[in-house]
Amino acid sequence: MAVESCLDFPIWALLPKKETCIPAFLGKYPDYDGRGIKIAILDSGVDPGAPGLRVTSDGKPKVIDLMDATGAGDVDTSTVVEAQDGEIVGLTGRKLKIPDSWTNPTGKYHVGVKCAYEMYPKSLKERVQKSYKEREWSPPHNLALAKAARKLQQFEAGHSAAPVKKLEKEELETQVELLGALEKKFEDLGPVYDCVVFHDGNLWRAVVDTSEKGDLESCTLLGTYRETLEFATLSKEDSLNYAVNIHDDGNLLEIVGNSSTHGTHVASIAAACFPDRPERNGVAPGAQLVSIGIGDIRLGSMETGTALVRAVVKLLETGCHVINMSYGEHAHWLGGRLLELLHEVVDKHGVIMVNSAGNHGPALSTVNAPGTMPSSSIIAVGAYVSPEMMLVEYSLREKMPGLGYTWTSRGPSPDGGLGVSVCAPGGAITSVANWTLRGSQLLNGTSMSSPHVAGAIALLLSGLKAQGLPYSPYSVRRAMENTALKVASWDPFSMGYGLLQVDKAFEHLLEHGDCPERDVRFRVNCGVHRRGIYLREPHVVDKPSIRSSPTMRLFFFRMRGAAAQCKIGYEQNLSLVCSASWVSAPALLSLSYVARTIWVKVDPTGLPPGAHYAAVQAIDVSSPQKGAVFDIPITVVKPRRLTDRDGYELRAKGVTLKPGVMQREFVVVPTGATWASLQVKSADPQNVAHVVVHAVQLKQQLSCQASEFQKTFPLAPASEASFAFSVFDDSTLELCLSKWWTNLGDVVVDYSLSFFGLKPEQPCLSMAKSGGVQRASDGVYRFDVMSHLKSEEVLPVATLKHHVAVLRQIQPLGSRDVIPEGRPVYEIQLTYNFSINKGAEVTPSCPLLSELLYESEYEAQLWMIFDANKQLVASGDAYPNRYSTKLEKGEYVVRLQVRHEQRPLLERLSDLPLHLSQKMASGLALDVYRGHAQALVGGKKFAGVTARPGSRLPVFLTPCPCDKLPKGCSPGHFLTGTVTICKDEQGKKVAVFPLTYHIGELPKKSSSATKVASSEEKTPELEFQEALRDLKISWIPKLQGQASSELFEELRASSPKHVPLLLARMQALDGDKERGSQLHEIVSLADQVLGSIDTLELLAALGARTDKKDQNNKQQEKQKGQVVEALTKKGAALCDLFLARAEGSGDGRPQVSSTEGSPEAEPPSLADLNRAYAELLKWADPGDTKVAPFVEKHAMALGQHGRAAKVLLKLMEDKPSQDLDKRLVQVYRQLGWDHCCRHVERSSLVRYPPAYRLF
């Protein structure tokens, strides 16, 4: 039986096609398998080397163009070099050997650099990093750690605790400590590749030096993909296939990979072709593919406006017939620049666009943009799972009737459109990218149903083109919708017009190819920007009858180019049909090329609570069998109303939940309610149920995500689950419950929904802090709490959580950014600087543009954060809350790009502020009081109190003391947080109100210390002389050579023992190019500084208890700093003298000589160095970065390289640099830690890029 079962395995069901009658269609029309059709895959990128993506069914190349439209793969190759002795130097500094086989008539090479991990999807990066660590790091590191630990043990066993051995022991302990720390902090940043671009006389060529050694002969030479169809694999380990495109005369190299495996899976569903295994074919094996990556790898594969606009340019350039876009986001309103451009692609250029409806169900009105665009130009596809898919793909124990997946997004769209056009199988086991190391994989989503429909459209177009029959995007869509199958479980909100039937759609196109509406798109307007009638809110549904006046407007395909005769000759007589008894409409309508308005009456009064759908269909009286010419969708949601008599609570008992079947409740949220509590109790004594809860409300110009709650949870037998979520009042709330579709069997549950309502009078609370005085306006802050529904306990809590700094601060783009008809796109780049005093989580946001993508009037926004060395550390776009990032202490730069084709719109943004929200380490609680008087004196704080229905309670908040504000607060900044009002623990989590705390002018710190009385008052002349002297002293370190020396000598003549003067000279010598020849002078100056200060008295004073604000104490701290600086510079100079003498000055160090005119001093001994080091330890901790120059050199002089490495790593934490990296490599090499050397050298190329990364 097992053998027979394997032999009979239904391979065809792995990529389901029978459900949409594709096998039947291809059986009848085998040559109409997509041949001659190009499908654009707007996705995360397609792997051209994946199984099934090499050739079409008729032997043509499958993937004919590859593009990364995001810019993430771009390499700046504007640096031009010429070969010397057959070699060029790359931007990494490596010498690159030019192969003899290359032809380059100009002899010029464009060079750039690319980090490998910038091209890796997250899961691939994690796999390669893990492999690298296990192979290159862990074995030698574990050996080094064991060796260091063994040395320490041997030392401790063989030596006493004598002071002379203390540094030796410290060195060994430091080595063990360092190796442990390096293991914890290990991070593989990946290899860095040189990139070379040149012109071979015929076309542009590029190579990526994956050898990392300059061995270009071993690397694959590529050309622009569409010209050569060449691609390569980055390395055997990663198996990442990539191609290249070359722009702007060789100055820009575009490396095309993929940001996830999603796009390859999508492409395989649409058009994979397995010549030897046709049962594994995609829907249209004869179609060719154009892959356009719109998922930006910097953003975790999120689509960007830049990528979508470039995608439009590319797909029109390549002559694509069909677009599949399995991407989308929730839009706040239906409109915007991106939607307009996508609309043009369909209406003006005739490309048919298919889009995934979204995976945000099961509640209604959860469909994504761009499929919900108001023109209905895009075909939105829902996801369906058939009985065969259940058995073969998901390995369920038993079949169920076909149904829409639980998670598939539902219509109607907020503007009344149906939302979903058709549905198709939403899962498949098919090819994925090679870098996953899998031949195939099960993925599901509307992302999978959408390419199924795109492939099916390729079949239809292939047949129409073969027969020379005309079509338009509108005729194809109508054919699919009018012939779709309404399965037994049909639901218009999840399945649209039904399950796609390719064979019937093709017959429809053949039979009705000459119908008068073939090239016509009907735009139905049921109000401002409304495609249908959608009655949901109580103030509308409660009316006895609603009259709507839909207006039908006609738009011809390629409207501007449509012949006048077509418009003049168009006439259609229509019968208006609706089977719903609660809808009344005219029976007849005669249409010509003019807008017509009719009256439709909807009477919802007799409808039971729930969602109801109907449509007024316009049927051509001369050909009724072809189905609706257009329709007017009508959705009525009839909600329940709750009252105080039932405690504002909805209860349901004995409700049977079935897999994938929705139980929907619609309730009017009571006036004043702010949150709801849901309890679900299982009545099943045996089985665990996996339950989905989805609650949604709709607000105008806000997406469904603005007010929703969604949870999937296991419900144990006879157990109860409780959830709370926020609501807004006087609006319809949908509560949808269901068993997860794969969770077999029914379950009986009881559930209840209760509402609660404490809220402040103002929805957003705002306080101000300015000056040091509490005033009525910005001191005690009052807000009133209102209770509407029932008696509730009030216990307000106000907490500030984020510090928001307001940061303040045009050129045409390249050939990829010119929209057809010569419309160039422009950009504006804004730069903002900020610093982080302590590691924190930050979130940049642009308030003007945030949360807008498809609906934005601007084309795109993208920001990138760079550290002080230009390394990219974070990126983000329109949705700032998705891109919070942890930053360490340091200086940073944010670069923001916004694009549009109209320069004046960009110029308006030249002063655009950027908000940088920094999460505070702990919340800052504000004091809350019941009365104003208590708030003024900091008296008794607010205790719990009961608010009765209809009551109003005042609440008072006091400002935060200035010393509690986060460091870095400045005027114009503000703090954000929340206020909770109710005492209930569930309510505290969801009934949360925003609080903004504005920072005004802060008081200056006043010193309580009294000035030390001077023995005599300074005259203005004396003050002037001292100020002039101090100014000149400040210039000594800034001047070079003789000028600095002359200025010092001039000042020393009048102030020979002035400590700041001596220190300034030491600073000048320490930074001088000839420092090596002036070390004795540095030592001499340091001794003069130390001789000018009574160090014993100073140490005693510093050890005594004193007031830190006292003026004397400040003077002592200043002197301490001078002593530490002198000791540090002296010690470093002594170490350099010792090392130079010990090595005979034969290592390239500057020759050390005595001060001019003085006899050569005796070189310092180790004992001198140790005495200087011991003296320094009296004044400073050796871990202080201020003394690092001496501590490092002292360790090097003693051959204690572990201590030196510790100092360098400390400096790296404070301010990393390439110089520190080089010194660290030298120290590691002395320690014999070669694996650490290799790691630092490899990482250095990533951490210090030559320029900022391109947008």
Alpha-carbon distance of 437 to 625, in angstroms, equals 51
Strand order in the sheet with 520-525: 520-525, 551-556, 596-597
- DSSP label at 18? G
**Active-site position among 33, 43, 188, 877:** 43
**Which backbone phi and psi does 1044 adopt, to 5 degrees?**
-65, -40
Half-sphere exposure of 751 (CA within 13 A, CB side): 25
Is the preceding peptide bond at 994 cis, omega within 30 degrees of 0?
no
Burial (CB < 10 A; 0-12, 13-18, 19+), residue 276, is: exposed
Cα–Cα distance list, 1220 to 196, 387, 888, 1225 (Å): 29, 64, 18, 9
Alpha-carbon distance of 341 to 1100, in angstroms, equals 77
Q: Which residues pair with 296 in a beta bridge?
A: 302
Alpha-carbon distance of 608 to 612, in angstroms, equals 9
Helices then strands, each counted (H, E), the chain = 30, 62
Half-sphere exposure of 688 (CA within 13 A, CB side): 6
**Active-site position among 291, 421, 447, 1044:** 447
The token pair that represents 524 in the structure block: 């139905």
Alpha-carbon distance of 394 to 601, in angstroms, equals 46
Angle at 295 between CA 294 and CA 299, to 5 degrees: 135
Cα–Cα distance list, 150 to 140, 173, 470, 1060, 1203 (Å): 15, 11, 83, 49, 18
Half-sphere exposure of 697 (CA within 13 A, CB side): 20
Secondary-structure breakdown of the chain: helix, strand, coil percentages, each rounded to the nearest 5: 30, 30, 40
- Which amino acid, one-letter code, is at 1164? P
Answer whether 1242's CB lies under 8 Å from 189's CB.
Answer: yes
Alpha-carbon distance of 678 to 665, in angstroms, equals 12
CB under 8 Å to 1153, separation ≥6 — which residues?
A: 1077, 1160
Answer whether 22's CB lies under 8 Å from 500's CB.
Answer: no
> Residue 541's closest CA among 492, 606, 493?
606
Answer whether 796's CB lies under 8 Å from 924's CB.
Answer: no
- Which amino acid, one-letter code, is at 72? A
> What SS3 class is residue 1067?
helix
What is the residue-wise DSSP string for 735-761? Answer: EEEEE-TTS-S-EEEEEEEEEE-EEES
CB under 8 Å to 922, separation ≥6 — which residues?
A: none
Q: Does the active-site annotation cover 43?
A: yes
Answer whether 935's CB lies under 8 Å from 956's CB.
Answer: yes
**Active-site position among 262, 265, 802, 1235:** 262
Q: What is the set of active-site residues?
A: 43, 262, 447
